[in-house]
Every structure is written in C-alpha cells, then in structure tokens.
Structure 1
C-alpha cells in the first residue's frame, strides 16, 4: 500500500485531498499542527469508513516539529511515496508592495517557503525509498509572474505583495528541486488548486474543495511517463492545464 503525507490536512483542501487519496487505497498520514484538530479530522474519516489514516503532528513553522514528525513517521514506515506540501497562509489582504510590513513578508515566507523546504528536506530520504516518489507543492495561480505582467489576465489586479512573492519563490524552489532529481524516478510539480471556497478566502471562491483536491491528487499520482517541473493550473490556463511561470 502506498503512503502519503499531507501537511495542513485537518481541514479544507488538505482534508479533501486526504479523503481522495483514501479512496485510491493510499495510507494517509494526515498532517496537522494541532493534535486535537488532527484527531478530529481522522475521526471524521473513520466515521466515513476510511481506516487507513492517522494523524501526524507537524507544524511547518517549527523545525523541531518537522523533525519530530520525520522520526515518528520513520518508526511506522520506511517508505513515503507521496509528499503533499499543502500548509500555507495568506498573511491577510490587502498587501501593497509599498506599505506591507516586512514582518508580514517574513511570516508568510516562513510557512509558504521555508516550511516547505525544511519539510521536503526532512522527508526526502523516506521518499527516495519509494519506487515512484512524488512531491506536490500546493501553489497559487497568483504565483505566475508572466501572467501578473499581462493586463488581459483575469486576475491581473489581484496582487498580494507577500503572498504572491512567497508562492513565486516556492515555484522557483520546486524547479530547482525537480532539476536536481531529474535523473531519478521523482516527479516534482506545483499545483494551483484554483480559486476555491475555503476559510482562506472567506469562502469567496467559486471552486469546490473536491475540484481543488482532485487537481492535487492528479499531480501526485502521475505515472512514470508523466511530466516533472510543471506548474499545473486548470484555472489559469484551462485549455492546457499548464500555467506559465
């Protein structure tokens, strides 16, 4: 049975992603920074009849929590097939380049960039034991620098100085990681879940968590001939599903 770790999985897109992996017969380690919330999420999945799931406490803002989670997971399995770096924050809007406090930039980057890097590095050895390891970094359509420079783009006027730059940095890291692993069986991709109705945006998005999670799972279950180092975005470029960087 394949295994997957999803960070920030106790609610919203992360939780639905866990549910969809369970339907595919994966064993799910449901990452949550809060023990009670993680246990509640797992209890809900158990009540739905899914038994191959357990909570894993991981706070991507705390290196000691990441490495504790790595130790605990290694005691349970020697192989991790999929890592979904889903945990992220917006930092609150509006965010102007001229006035947003540097402390906000630091807070957002801590979760959206540095937390992903540290988590990926911590679990990379377990991923390397898998036959076809997959890493999916959950990004945003707003991370496309190309589209942000295109006045005809539908989200051209939606610019968050800290959030946008953090996700663009995440994309850049993902490209470098995919390049370094290009001669291996790894697939490293970023996925824009789309403008989804969640707590993240006060449920203003038109998309559903089911649709968003399906995009993440699709990238995480690519076959051996599937692409790596891609920016998947059905929202940005619905015809091809591949967004410009």
Structure 2
C-alpha cells in the first residue's frame, strides 16, 4: 500500500502529518531555498506557497471559472475559495476518498460555486461553463494520456483561457537512459508514495514533446517558468518519509539526484489555445 493510500487514517494518529499533507500532495516552493528548515510545518507552508504561485501565474480574478485537474484534497481550490469571490471552481480527482474529504472540508464562501468530481482527467466531461483557467499541478505524469487531457481541456476552455501545467521535465540528454529509470525506479517511487489509487506507471517527457502535444491539440506553449532550485528542499522532507516507511533508499534518492543535476527540471508551463 502506498503512503498516501492510508494517509487519512494516519492523520488520526499524527496531527503534524495532517498539517503537512492535509491540503496539498505536491512539492513545496521556497522563494529562498536556504531558509528551509526540513520540518513538516515548513514543508506545509512551502506546499501552500506553490499553489499560491500557480494562482498568481494564472492571474486569477473574481468571477473566474477554474478547473483543477488532479485536485487531491483540494488545497489549491481552498486557497482560491479563501482569496476570491464569485468563482466557479471544479476539481477532478481519480481518488474518491480524496474527493470526499475535499467536499466535506472546503466550505464555499464569497458566492463561490465549488464542486469536486471523482473522475479520470484524461476523460473529462463536457462542463456547462467554459473555464478561464485549467490547472494540472504536479499530477499529469500519472494521467493515462496527456494528449487526451489536453483535448478535454480544449473543449472546456475559453479561447482566451490558459492551461497551466506543473510538471517534472526531462533534459533531452538523458532520454536514452530515462526509460530504464522510469520503469524500474521512478514508477516504484510514485506508487510507493502516492499509492496504487494514483497510478502504477508514470511518464515524464521533455519540453519538445510537450510542444508537439500542444500543437496537435490546438494549444501553443506561451511561457516556461523554471522553479527547480526553489523546490529542492522538498526532497529531504519527502525522502525521510519514504525511507522510514519503505526502507527504500534508492527509490527515495533517485529523483533527487536527477533534479540536483538539472537532468529533471521542475517547471510551470503556460499554454494558450491557438486562435
């Protein structure tokens, strides 16, 4: 069983753990990475800050319609709900347990309309309202198909809207060795951490492949924001959890080493529909 498969049960035993992962299941962002202290409290703040950064990048305003694909416990939607009024917010997540918790914990305010939907982000429904922004924050690597996700977003996004993807981007120089690492090491890392509910297989791609997917599905890549150095303090916090729970040092450290060498880069990608 993956760590996050039983996370809700662990919240009952460890309230500090709930503070760290009760809203977000993604990396943290430190404006000044040297300020990180390695604590779960610090990591929770940094995870919140990553969602805030994405919201800033999206240039959200009151009255926006926003889709959060792979929304987890609804942390990003919670911040949107707290900070803006008259939003239409839709969260889609494949894990019904996480959807249930998000629906129970997040109470709409300020005229906001919030709905969490259990579903596959690669098979999005046709929503009644077109979105101003669609977000996939550190989850798309586990989707069955990025291309189908892009197609689904295109059908549900305003012509002037934005698709924001936060993902691990492979440096082209390691493409030849990457497939072995991804199959034998990284997939186990993701499954051990996020659990079988999330995925048993992952796929990281390079920027060129993203551009090809965008072009094929009617998008263009407008901007790339590299925050790799700002997420580095995440690894000690996450790795200690993996090692303590699974005694798997190789799995825990593999992604960290690739990241430190900039062979994997943590980036925010901004796409817009082609007019």
TM-score, normalization: structure 1?
0.48
The structure where helix makes up a greater share of residues is 2
The structure where strand makes up a greater share of residues is 2
TM-score, normalization: structure 2?
0.44
